[in-house]
């Protein structure tokens, strides 16, 4: 039983980190209509900044620089590239983002080299024991920070003018613009928020139980894509539910692989998130909490 509980808690805490990334995808999509395939590199960038700076300025100031750096890069991608697209359709922007991802990732890979950079996180490799269950302290913190972050997002979107403006812009851009909402401002805020969430996720994805910053971390963002898609492309709560579902599925399928292998084959844990995504989309084509496309009957 404690083994089951351990895998469930592992899965949920990992799922919350994934949901930070998935929420970033969703926020950029709702605020500018862009499928941001460069998000993985921004996750890596945030963690990289913390790793290279923690020795000189200390861990917490480095975290601050990582968050701000990732936010600034997000805003810059939007201001310099997305807004200047001659043909503002989602396909063009998505391909542009693939290009940005290649450029960012190549540069970060060059800088990181074949090292695994340590993050210098004060929680190190410590663990929290709850009865028979052992959880890395980093994961417990990740869960707490993620819940706080989502609480803050809820407050922003439902209680502040800026957040309500962002929702209005997402629902109907031209009308929101006529109502005096500055779309450039809501878009920049969206990209900045996504950058911050990506950096937070990057920090937790590269501290214990993961060893440190290596270029493969950018691939972790791909694990969040099924969470984003099955939550519904444009829904932050959907991203949270999607992340939890994907985290839980991977942990349980991997944890019980020995029992599942005879009929599912080896390595099913890597495939399971996509299977869940496809099943959800078959039942609910707009995802769990995504808004439905208007269809003329």
Partner 1 sequence: MKHRVRAATLAAAALALAACSTTAPTASGGGGGDDVETGNGVTADGITIGMITDLSGPFAAGAAVQVTETQAYWDQVNADGGICDRDVTVDVQDHGYDPQRAVTLYRSMAPDVIALQQVLGGPTSAAVLPLAEQDSVYVGGVGWAGSALAYENNQLPGASNAIQAANAIDYMVDELDVPEGSTVGVVYFTGDYGGDALAGAEHAAEERGLEILAQEITPATTDLSAQASALAQADVAGVVLAAAPTQLASLAGVLSSQGADVPIIGMNPTFNPSLLTTPAADALLANAYSMTSVSPYDNPDSPGVQEANELYASADPAGATGWEVPLAYVQAELLRQALEGACESGDLTPEGVVAAFRDGGEVDTEGVLPDGLDYSQVGQSPTTTVFVSKVSADAEAGLELLDQVSGPSAESFSYGG
Give the contacts of 155 (CB within 8 A, at least 6 positions apart).
Answer: 163
Binding status of residue 92 toward partner 1 by CB under 8 A: no
Binding status of residue 117 toward partner 1 by CB under 8 A: yes
Binding status of residue 184 toward partner 1 by CB under 8 A: no
Binding status of residue 110 toward partner 1 by CB under 8 A: yes
Give the contacts of 235 (CB within 8 A, at least 6 positions apart).
Answer: 26, 287, 288, 289, 290, 291
Binding status of residue 76 toward partner 1 by CB under 8 A: no
Nearer to partner 1 (CB atom), residue 136 or residue 237? 136
206-225 footprint of partner 1 as x/- string (CB under 8 A): xxxxxxx-xxxx-xx-xx--
Distance CA 256, CA 7 (A): 9
Binding status of residue 144 toward partner 1 by CB under 8 A: no
The SS3 of residue 105 is: helix
Binding status of residue 266 toward partner 1 by CB under 8 A: yes
* 22 in Cβ contact with 10 (< 8 Å): no
Question: Hey, what are 175's tokens?
Answer: 């009308």
The SS3 of residue 123 is: coil
CA distances to 33, 96, 258, 269 from 266, rounded to whole Å, are: 38, 36, 9, 8
* 15 in Cβ contact with 248 (< 8 Å): yes
Q: How far is the CB of 33 from partner 1 (least distance, A)?
A: 18
Binding status of residue 59 toward partner 1 by CB under 8 A: no
Angle ∠(99,104,106) on CA atoms, nearest 5: 95
Q: How far is the CB of 34 from partner 1 (least distance, A)?
A: 16
Binding status of residue 118 toward partner 1 by CB under 8 A: yes
Number of residues that bind partner 1 (CB under 8 A): 53
Binding status of residue 286 toward partner 1 by CB under 8 A: no
Nearer to partner 1 (CB atom), residue 66 or residue 269? 269
Nearer to partner 1 (CB atom), residue 80 or residue 171? 80
Distance CA 70, CA 64 (A): 10
- Give the footprint of partner 1 on this chain (CB under 8 A): 3, 6-7, 10-11, 14, 84-86, 106, 109-110, 112-118, 121, 124-125, 127, 134, 136, 139, 205-212, 214-217, 219-220, 222-223, 250-251, 254-258, 266-267, 269-270
């Amino acid at each position: 039983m404690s083994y089951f509980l351990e895998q469930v808690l592992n899965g949920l805490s990992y799922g919350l980190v994934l949901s930070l990334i998935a929420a970033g995808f969703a926020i950029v999509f709702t605020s500018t209509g862009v499928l941001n395939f460069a998000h993985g590199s921004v996750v890596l960038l945030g963690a990289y900044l913390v790793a290279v700076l923690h020795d000189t300025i200390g861990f917490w100031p480095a975290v601050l620089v990582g968050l701000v750096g990732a936010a600034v890069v997000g805003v810059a991608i939007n201001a310099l590239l997305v807004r200047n697209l001659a043909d503002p359709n989602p396909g063009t922007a998505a391909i542009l983002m693939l290009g940005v991802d290649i450029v960012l990732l190549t540069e970060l890979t060059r800088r990181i080299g074949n090292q695994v950079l340590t993050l210098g996180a004060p929680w190190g490799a410590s663990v929290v024991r709850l009865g028979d269950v052992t959880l890395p302290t980093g994961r417990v913190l990740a869960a707490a920070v993620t819940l706080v972050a989502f609480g803050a997002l809820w407050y922003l979107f439902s209680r502040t003018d800026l957040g309500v403006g962002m929702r209005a812009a997402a629902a109907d851009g031209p009308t929101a613009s006529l109502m005096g909402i500055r779309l450039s401002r809501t878009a920049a805020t969206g990209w900045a928020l996504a950058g911050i969430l990506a950096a937070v996720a990057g920090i937790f994805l590269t501290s214990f139980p993961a060893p440190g910053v290596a270029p493969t971390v950018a691939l972790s963002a791909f694990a969040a894509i099924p969470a984003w898609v099955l939550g519904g492309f444009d829904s932050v709560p959907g991203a949270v539910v999607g992340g939890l579902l994907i985290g839980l599925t991977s942990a349980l399928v991997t944890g019980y692989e020995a029992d599942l292998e005879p009929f599912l084959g080896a390595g099913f844990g890597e495939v399971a998130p996509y299977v869940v995504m496809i099943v959800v989309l078959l039942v609910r084509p707009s995802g769990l909490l995504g808004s439905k496309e208007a269809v003329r009957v």
